[in-house]
């Protein structure tokens, strides 16, 4: 047994409520701004507070309209499927399947027996331009586009309004009249005799210039001559047909 000598202080026994300096240091961190010690459990409070906001932002991003490649035969079907994914229980705008996809399929089925080579090229440019108009609208304002999709009539008006520019800018009035006749009779009459359908026809005709009239006539005559040449033997030379100069009162 060790005997405590007189005058020597007794050793201090740490109690349960007293932490050694090394333990206390491990349980605290310092604020970068002030250097003041803070309990380590407080460091993770801001992360927990921001988690719901980050989750909501991610959810909103997933519900924005997806980008769909243009120039594809099933573009409108993919747009309709994307709408259903984002809006369970809701029907997509009728325009997607009842007009866009229907006429994409119908015009894509036309071949060399239906349209001239120029007409087929116009068809491909126009189908792509119509899809590009929708994708541009989505890209410019994804949230506004999603809201527009939920209003079928407003969406149909927007889509129909994009048609005349797509038709004309793709070279509609550079086609011969036989192409114009085929193009004009391909849609169902019920789709043309609606308010939006009549307006798009009027808008397209309003973009026709006097030069377009001459172009249509020229292309029609040239196509007629080519058809006639295919009937006669190659040794027979047909007279050259020239259109007179037209002075139109516009």
Q: Taking Cα atoms as reference points, which of 169, 163, 162, 159 lies closest to residue 208?
A: 169
- pLDDT > 60? residue 11: no
Length of the chain: 250
Which residue's structure tokens are 């507070």?
49
Sequence-ordered list of residues with C-beta below 8 angstroms from that of 243, at least 6 positions apart, any chain = 214, 217, 218, 221
CB 156 within 8 A of CB 199: no
Tell me the per-residue pLDDT of 133-156, one tens digit each, with 9 for 90 and over.
Answer: 999 999 999 999 999 999 999 999
Tokens matching residue 169:
């800018």
pLDDT tier, 4 (very low <50, low <70, confident <90, very high otherwise): low
Percent of the chain with pLDDT over 90: 47
Tell me the per-residue pLDDT of 70-81, one tens digit each, with 9 for 90 and over.
999 999 999 999
pLDDT in tens, 217-232: 454 445 444 544 454 4
**Does the global pTM surpass 0.85?**
no
- Residue that the structure tokens 């997607």 belong to: 96
Q: Tell me if 48 sits within 8 A of 32, measured CB to CB.
A: no
Mean pLDDT for the stretch of residues 51-61: 51
Q: Which of 17-31, 183-197, 204-218 has the lowest mean pLDDT?
A: 17-31
Residue 177: CB partners within 8 Å, gap ≥ 6? 216, 217, 219, 220
| Domain layout of the chain by residue ranges | 75-229
Higher pLDDT, 62 or 246: 62
Q: In this structure, what DSSP letter does residue 99 have?
A: I
């Amino acid at each position: 047994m060790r005997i405590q000598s007189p005058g020597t202080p007794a050793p201090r026994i740490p109690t349960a409520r007293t932490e050694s300096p090394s333990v206390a240091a491990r349980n605290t961190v310092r604020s970068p701004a002030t250097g003041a010690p803070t309990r380590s459990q407080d460091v993770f409070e801001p992360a927990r507070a921001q988690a719901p906001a980050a989750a909501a932002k991610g959810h909103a991003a997933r519900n924005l309209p997806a980008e769909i490649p243009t120039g594809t035969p099933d573009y409108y079907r993919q747009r309709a499927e994307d709408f259903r994914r984002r809006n369970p229980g809701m029907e997509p705008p009728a325009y997607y399947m009842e007009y866009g996809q229907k006429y994409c399929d119908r015009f894509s089925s036309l071949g060399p027996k239906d349209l001239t080579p120029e007409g087929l090229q116009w068809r491909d440019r126009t189908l792509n331009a119509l899809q590009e108009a929708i994708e541009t609208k989505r890209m410019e304002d994804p949230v506004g586009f999603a809201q527009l999709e939920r209003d079928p009539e407003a969406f149909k008006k927007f889509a129909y309004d994009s048609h005349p520019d797509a038709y004309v800018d793709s070279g509609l009035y550079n086609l011969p009249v036989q192409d114009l006749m085929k193009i004009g009779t391909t849609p169902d009459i019920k789709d043309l005799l609606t308010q939006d359908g009549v307006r798009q026809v009027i808008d397209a005709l309003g973009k026709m210039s006097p030069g377009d009239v001459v172009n249509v006539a020229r292309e029609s005559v040239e196509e007629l001559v080519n058809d006639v040449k295919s009937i006669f033997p190659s040794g027979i030379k047909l007279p050259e047909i020239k259109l007179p100069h037209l002075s139109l009162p516009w």
